[in-house]
Chains A and B, each alone.
Chain A
């Protein structure tokens, strides 16, 4: 039995990043009975919950109630929250090592993957990461310029993020008013001129990354018609065979819904959302002034690899799509934290099942761990991070048992508190969040909305009387 993890000398754990994975990590640590553990959670934003607050679409309120679970975890007497504190900026990782036995990085994926095509950086070509953060009131993006004076826009990628972006562009102001979308985004979307939205998948209906409820929802919008070109809705021979072979019910259902949109006669709604298949953008054409004149795209066909995957291959058929605005929704990407080994090829912290590795020796670095999107890459729903966090916590506990932890020399709770206060006097506690939460709900209630978000740190400080 090791000496840490007792009442006299609790195991001091720091969790960096207050998204779902950070909370599940804390939950698993509190649930085990072997050691006495305290968790300090650091978050670069004043408010916790990561992508649950700043990613999940505002018109999907139910899933956000998962924060009730996180609130309960935060009630544990061993839990503290330090919001508005960025690790790598206010406090460095080597500094933290003087205070904690174990540090877990659950910082998510903050940036986007690139398409690598000409014209990608023209005005009017936006990564979904930024658009999503903007409409959700992320403090870093409140002053971001989104010009919605375009009639024809494309969304590249066909995962659930692409669905979110397309839906938000197609919702009516009345539909959006019923959500907690940021005030300024509501206003901008009210003035939106968008009429046609094209969502572009590089493979066919049988390989679409979106899930069934998401594609179904497209067909149920108040003032937008969902549409699919009949020839693109049809499954190619390879996909048909693969589907018949696997009898994958979920995919069959998706294909069925996609096909039900094929050739639909427009019902006179103001907007049209077309899902395209087997197309890849080749170039965003410059209008000579740095804006998008149109998109050149190529039709793809599928081929099967020896390993059994159906991949896209460009054909000779090229087409011009008359869009002047493009959202790139082909995936998120993690960013490195200074002082923590990063594996650039995958865009994750270099790790083996959550243990951070030394790039030289490939052996675990004592006391450093990771979980969630920054550990395995940007995939999976909120709940997927729970078993993922458990895998990491199991390894952490195993290392405590074999005494492979950091050896901090300053582990007093008050000592840590003073240190944080010194580095970032404007840090936020969980109580601060609870008060802000009540204020946001009250602001919402006053105007008949579920919540009106604070979107700047100054605003939040002022509301708390600081």
Chain B
């Protein structure tokens, strides 16, 4: 399965934030959109980092005044991006090995989506269920 089939049913706007915005705004956005991470983009809309719930929590544990910090202060800059044609299997593997949960997806330098490990798990579970269902149909055909 390809990342493309996960993105295809996620609409076309990716929720992004810029590095100079405040963590306050990031938290509002994460809560309002019920998501786990924001892609940080520059003026050309190119992804330059990612800010996850975890990044915020980690800071919150040591700093009560984090809300007025800038996104740039807390975002993860070593950004690994994927492509729509990437195999879900290998992306999931990379995420678990490298311990992150969201990956921005880029095509021709443009941000086209973001996938979470949860998205991939759900898609793989559905594919697996579908295959079992299909196998059952074939076995039942054998019996009849």
Instruction: Kindly list chain A residues whose C-beta atoms are within 8 Å of the C-beta of B81.
Output: 306-307
Given A307-B83, A307-B91, A307-B103, A387–B138 Cβ distance below 8 Å?
Answer: no
Contact of A384 among B107, B112, B130, B137 (CB under 8 A): B130
Given A246-B93, A346-B4, A353–B87 Cβ distance below 8 Å?
Answer: no
Inter-chain contact B134/A353, CB cutoff 8 Å: no
Q: Mark B12-27, 1 if CB is under 8 A from A, else 0.
A: 1100000000000000
B92-118: which residues lie under 8 A (CB-CB) from chain A?
Answer: 93-94, 97, 103, 107, 112
In this complex, what residue of A is CB-closest to B11? A352
Q: Mark A183-211, 1 if CB is under 8 A from B, else 0.
A: 00000000000000000000000010000
Inter-chain contact B130/A381, CB cutoff 8 Å: yes
Q: Mark A370-387, 1 if CB is under 8 A from B, else 0.
A: 000001110111111111
**Does A348 interact with chain B (Cβ within 8 Å)?**
yes
Given A351-B11, A375-B9, A65–B140 Cβ distance below 8 Å?
Answer: yes
Taking the nearest CB of chain B, how far is it from the CB of A180, in angstroms?
Answer: 14
Question: CA of A353 to CA of B5 in the docked complex: distance in angstroms?
Answer: 11
In this complex, what residue of A is CB-closest to B94? A308
Taking the nearest CB of chain A, how far is it from the CB of B119, in angstroms?
Answer: 11
Instruction: Kindly list chain A residues whose C-beta atoms are within 8 Å of the C-beta of B2.
Output: 377, 379
Inter-chain contact B93/A245, CB cutoff 8 Å: yes
Taking the nearest CB of chain A, how far is it from the CB of B53, in angstroms?
Answer: 21
Question: CA of A387 to CA of B9 in the docked complex: distance in angstroms?
Answer: 14
Inter-chain contact B141/A309, CB cutoff 8 Å: no
Given A246-B89, A309-B90, A388-B126, A381–B131 Cβ distance below 8 Å?
Answer: yes
A193-244: which residues lie under 8 A (CB-CB) from chain B?
Answer: 207, 242
Given A65-B141, A386-B130, A343–B8 Cβ distance below 8 Å?
Answer: yes
Instruction: Kindly list chain A residues whose C-beta atoms are within 8 Å of the C-beta of B7.
Output: 346
- Most A CB atoms within 10 A — which of B9, B107, B131? B9
Question: CA of A177 to CA of B94 in the docked complex: distance in angstroms?
Answer: 48
**Does A289 interact with chain B (Cβ within 8 Å)?**
no
Contact of A376 among B8, B85, B112 (CB under 8 A): B8
Inter-chain contact B86/A307, CB cutoff 8 Å: yes
Additional pairs, 19, CB under 8 Å, beyond known A307-B91, A309-B83, A386-B130: A61-B141, A63-B141, A245-B93, A246-B93, A307-B80, A307-B83, A343-B12, A346-B7, A352-B11, A362-B11, A362-B13, A376-B5, A376-B8, A382-B130, A383-B134, A384-B126, A384-B127, A387-B125, A388-B126
A interface, CB within 8 angstroms of B: 61-63, 65-66, 69, 207, 242, 245-246, 248, 305-310, 343, 345-346, 348, 350-354, 357, 359, 362, 375-377, 379-388
Q: Which 3 A-B pairs have the closest CB atoms?
A: A384-B130, A383-B133, A308-B94
Instruction: Enumerate 19 A-B pairs (CB-CB under 8 Å) in ascending A order.
Output: A62-B142, A63-B134, A65-B144, A309-B83, A309-B87, A343-B12, A345-B12, A348-B8, A348-B9, A351-B11, A362-B11, A375-B8, A377-B2, A379-B2, A382-B133, A382-B134, A383-B131, A383-B133, A387-B125
